[in-house]
Amino acid sequence: MTRILSTHVYGDRHPDWDARVDVLDRRTMTRRQLFRRLVSAAGDYDALILNGSIGTSEWFVDLLAAAAIRRTRRRPPAIVVTDCSWALGDAWIDRAAMRMGIRALDGRRVRYCVRSTDELELFPRAWRVDPGHVVFTPYAHTVTDTELAVPATTDGGVFAGGNSLRDYPTLLEAVRELDVPVRILTSVIGDAERAALPAHVQVDRVRSHDEFVDGLRRAAAVVTPLRPVLQRAAGLDTYLSAMALGKLVIVSESPGVRDYVEHGRTGLVVPAGDAASLREVLAWVLDPANADEVGEIAARAGETARTRFTYEAYVDTLLRVADDLVAG
């Protein structure tokens, strides 16, 4: 059996994770300690599964350790980097630094896990790596069984939330004339913008995870407005969690959306940046005459998310990538 070391704590999400994987829990050590433990222990394992979403706030510790292991060990273990949804950034120096780091890490026995089939093409082009080193690992909803057990309602109007690559100007234009409560939880809409909003639109910063889930649970519809022409998948945590709660989701066309949302069956996909189209779709969803069809779409969304897009399935895929990479 493949000997695996990881920085992911998935024992509460997958029945076999702790049996198959030795875990370095970053919550119990400093960044420097984690770096040293990874580098020193790497030789005892066939594969590492590391967290690619750890960024500047954590000093890119997983990626730096992986690069150090690749460059200092004669026979380094296979390396699987998860959640590689990396933005190119606006500054050329940031892009150059990231590409240099990837060049130090990249190799035949390295795999970058992305969350969409679109990124199988976008990622290699952006970061100049071999397309054969990039694999699609379908992501999962993040709602717990306890949260799913709480009955959902539809008395909360339209809900939207999150920060990453969101297009709230288009959403605000679309809902300005709607006669329905709209609630947005985000930190990317400033005070001046909030002051100019109509009375039926409420914008607050996210104060807790429970508050965010409650907003999803009470919504009549959940909108995830995303910027046009994205380089990576975004918004998955929001719309997959809403689907798992049995909600009608409306998502802007962008990388990855079609991997998770089947338009007209498990959700609705609208053109990015098109307020008129979004307004038309919202009006249809909120029309009582369409309640039965909306309910059917929402029910299929819940079934799909709770059976296909689970953490158990996601972790199974990561383990399979590691096993295949070592065997190959």
pLDDT tens column, 280-315? 999 999 999 999 999 999 999 999 999 999 999 999
The pLDDT score that the predictor gives to residue 120 is: 97
The pLDDT score that the predictor gives to residue 97 is: 63
Helices of type H across the chain: 17-20, 31-41, 61-72, 92-105, 119-127, 145-149, 168-175, 191-195, 209-218, 236-244, 257-260, 275-286, 291-307, 311-327
The pLDDT score that the predictor gives to residue 191 is: 83
pLDDT tens column, 183-237? 999 999 988 888 889 999 999 999 999 999 999 999 999 999 999 978 899 999 9
3-class state of residue 196 by DSSP: coil
3-class state of residue 257 by DSSP: helix
The pLDDT score that the predictor gives to residue 29 is: 94
For the stretch 256-267, what's the b/e string if a residue is b when 16 or more beta carbons lie within 10 angstroms of its beta carbon?
A: bbebbbeeeebb
pLDDT tens column, 121-164? 999 998 999 999 999 999 999 999 999 999 999 999 999 999 99
The pLDDT score that the predictor gives to residue 94 is: 56
**What is the value of pTM for the model shown?**
0.93
The pLDDT score that the predictor gives to residue 87 is: 66
| CA–CA gap between residue 247 and residue 169 (Å, rounded) | 23
Helices of type H across 73-208: 92-105, 119-127, 145-149, 168-175, 191-195
Task: List, in order, residues 6 or more apart from 257 with CB less than 8 Å away.
Answer: 226, 233, 239, 251, 269
The pLDDT score that the predictor gives to residue 99 is: 76
Q: Which uninterrupted H or E stretch holds 57?
A: none
CB 88, CB 96: distance < 8 Å: no
| Residue in this structure with the two tokens 């702790």, named with its chain if needed | 18
| CA–CA gap between residue 133 and residue 140 (Å, rounded) | 22
| CA–CA gap between residue 206 and residue 113 (Å, rounded) | 28
The pLDDT score that the predictor gives to residue 101 is: 76
The letter for the amino acid at 168 is Y
The pLDDT score that the predictor gives to residue 22 is: 97
Task: List, in order, residues 6 or more apart from 266 with CB less than 8 Å away.
Answer: 243, 249, 297, 300, 301, 304
And the tokens for 307?
Answer: 């059976």
Q: Is the dihedral of CA 149, 150, 151, 155 positive or negative?
A: negative
pLDDT tens column, 70-127? 999 989 999 999 999 876 555 555 566 677 778 889 999 999 999 999 999 999 998 9
The arithmetic mean of pLDDT across residues 167-172, rounded, is 97
Percent of the chain exceeding pLDDT 70 equals: 96
Task: List, in order, residues 6 or more apart from 113 with CB less than 8 Å away.
Answer: 52, 80, 81, 82, 83, 84, 135, 136, 137, 318, 321
| Residue in this structure with the two tokens 């030789």, named with its chain if needed | 43
| CA–CA gap between residue 29 and residue 35 (Å, rounded) | 10
Average pLDDT, the chain: 93
Question: pLDDT at residue 245 above 70?
Answer: yes
Tell me how far the alpha carbon of residue 310 is from its chain's centroid.
Answer: 13
